[in-house]
Structure 1
Amino acid sequence: MLTVLKNNWARIMQQKQYLVTAVLLTSLAAAAAILLTNRLQTTPDVAVLGGRAEYLEEECSVTYPEKAPARSELLMNRYDAVVKLADDGSFDIETAKGDAYRERIQAAVQAGQGALQAGNAGRAGVLNDKGITAGQETRQVGTNIIGYMMMFLLMQGILYGRMFAEDKEKHLIERIAVSPMSFGRYLAGQAVFIWALVFVPSFIMVCIAKLAGEDTGFTLAQFAFLLALCSMLSTCMALFIHSFFMTADTGNMAGSCVAVLTSVLSGTFYDLGGGSSWADRALYLMPQKNLMRFADLWERGKLNQDAVTSLIYVIIISAVFISIGMLKTRKDYVRHGKRLCKAE
């Protein structure tokens, strides 16, 4: 295994542009997450149809489009919610951020309508300056930081997995299959290499932020555990994806697309909530969604059964990823290499 680690390190040093780019992206993502989470204040972006809602304008960024925005605009965070007003005073709220967020906007609309009926068109006073209903819980700083870093950590794993992919592409694995080194030790070396390069730079950035006095939500020990978990998922996903492609470049492109798409849909950048549709429930099959849920509950001090279930799911899906990758690679290359050896 040490031979694999030394060999991979020598190769990555010959391709420093990959290492520098990945570390730089992760560092910038961590810095932006920490600084923006601690300083940036936002208000809900709400689209109102069927009438005016001046009572929301002091607390929300309100627009009045001519037609209802597409569902994609909610998913891409163009709008936080769409409020459809009826002539009889009833209303309907659509949001991609779940039932809790819908209830917040609903409370603001009801309070505003009640104020109008009482002859007071002033501020409803339901939302605070961050657009959050009093008493409702929102994603906290530590979970936000993990969420912002998640996609970049997954992309790093895909990038560092190119060493494994190049061994496949150049048929070096076939030679390893007939060498004294077992395939299990070879794959373990690749996994440790990827995990270390994903974990170490990200944890260093968190340590620097902590020393600079920034609020990171979690303690360093907690952050180390969460980043180790993210790095494990990144490593297993990288080996899984690269096992299905013959070239490193193809695996990198496909893996990066998967990392970006699944991270956005999982709500790592902003919380999409937990809607009641089958599509919303299907998002909970994604490991990123479960990892974020575990981090959120842990930061709130609620290590309940849901949190433990989410943690176990992430570990299990990571084990499934690396097991499939190992079996697929062994089938495609190791057995082929042994057959070649016997033929000779």
Structure 2
Amino acid sequence: LRTERGTGTNILGFIVMLVLMQGVALAALYPEDRMLKTFRRILVSPVHVGKYLFVQFIFTFLCLYIPTYLAIVITHVLFHAEIGFHLDILAGLLCVLTVLATAFAIFMASVMNRNISLMTSGISVITCVLSGCFISFAPHHPLLNVLCAILPQKAYMTFIHGVEMGHSMREYKAQVVYILMWSAVFCFLGGFITRRRTNKGIYE
């Protein structure tokens, strides 16, 4: 791959951080339900924790994906802005990112009760900088280099850069699977924490 970045990689690099932060903002209904005791009343019905979180996941995903994709498409069509990807390819790339952002939002909303957006903003900015979402970042410190390689945003940037350079999306199955694994872990931990707190009566 060429070392220089294309327009599409730069655009999606900035969008990574925005989507991560916006996902938590959209998932604010979940902690709000807990605070207003609505969550407890929902669990009295046949709806269990898993179903509730699944619905929250779908709602957050759709509210993230549709406006983000439409905003880029409208900018491209009406203002003829170069986005670096075909619209169908962009749809797939955004889908992978939105799944990660939604899972991260569910996890953070499950772990924290307040100041969620503040904490998430800090985490998103730091991890996106270390992952090279804004500029290419190659740390010389071995420990920092390992940490950066672990971050799912790093795999995503490798994925979109390769696709923009003309490679097939199939060639980056490893990166996609890695991102989806992070998403699955976030969802699992979010559900596990919520169930454990529910069983302890914390949300009573």
Give 1:137 deviation, angstroms: 3.3
**Counterpart Cα distance in 2 of 1:143 and 1:289:** 12
Of the three residues 217, 221, 224, the one matched with 2:84 is 217
Give 1:305 deviation, angstroms: 8.2
Query: Residue type of the partner of 1:200?
Result: I
Q: How does 1:253-292 map to 2 (within 5 A)?
A: 253-273=118-138, 275=140, 277-292=142-157
Partner of 2:183: 318
| Contact kept? 1:177, 1:183, Cα under 8 Å | yes
**Counterpart Cα distance in 1 of 2:141 and 2:164:** 25
Q: In the TM superposition, what whole-angstrom CA distance separates every residue of 1:251-277 from its partner, at most 9, and x where no partner exists?
A: 221112111111111111111137572
Higher helix share: 2
Q: In the TM superposition, what whole-angstrom CA distance separates every residue of 1:296-340 from its partner, at most 9, and x where no partner exists?
A: 11112234887221111000000100110011011102x245xx7
Q: Are positions 1:241 and 2:108 aligned together?
A: yes
Partner of 1:56: none
TM-score using structure 1 length = 0.55
Q: Are positions 1:183 and 2:25 aligned together?
A: no
Partner of 1:205: 71
TM-score using structure 2 length = 0.90
Query: Residue type of the partner of 1:146?
Result: L
Q: Are positions 1:328 and 2:193 aligned together?
A: yes
**Counterpart Cα distance in 2 of 1:304 and 1:189:** 29
Of the three residues 151, 159, 174, the one matched with 2:17 is 151
| Contact kept? 1:266, 1:289, Cα under 8 Å | yes
Give 1:156 deviation, angstroms: 0.2
**Counterpart Cα distance in 1 of 2:170 and 2:73:** 30
Q: Are positions 1:230 and 2:97 aligned together?
A: yes
Query: Residue type of the partner of 2:111?
Result: F
Tell me the secondary structure at the aligned position of residue 243 of structure 1: helix
> Structure 2 vs 1, CA of residues 185 and 207 (structure 1 numbering), >3 Å: closer, same or farther?
same
Larger CA Rg, structure 1 vs 2: 1
**Counterpart Cα distance in 1 of 2:69 and 2:140:** 33
The runs of 5 or more residues in structure 1 that have no matched partner are 1-134
Query: Residue type of the partner of 2:82?
Result: D
**Counterpart Cα distance in 2 of 1:278 and 1:139:** 25
The runs of 5 or more residues in structure 2 that have no matched partner are none
Number of aligned positions between the proteins: 203
Tell me the secondary structure at the aligned position of residue 246 of structure 1: coil
- RCO higher in structure (CA 8 A, sep ≥6): 2
- CA-based RMSD: 2.3
Structure 1 residue ranges (4+ consecutive) displaced by more than 3 angstroms after TM superposition: 273-276, 303-306
Report the identity percentage.
Answer: 30
**Counterpart Cα distance in 1 of 2:89 and 2:146:** 28
| Contact kept? 2:27, 2:109, Cα under 8 Å | yes
Q: In the TM superposition, what whole-angstrom CA distance separates every residue of 1:191-210 from its partner, at most 9, and x where no partner exists?
A: 11111111111111111122
Query: Residue type of the partner of 2:104?
Result: M
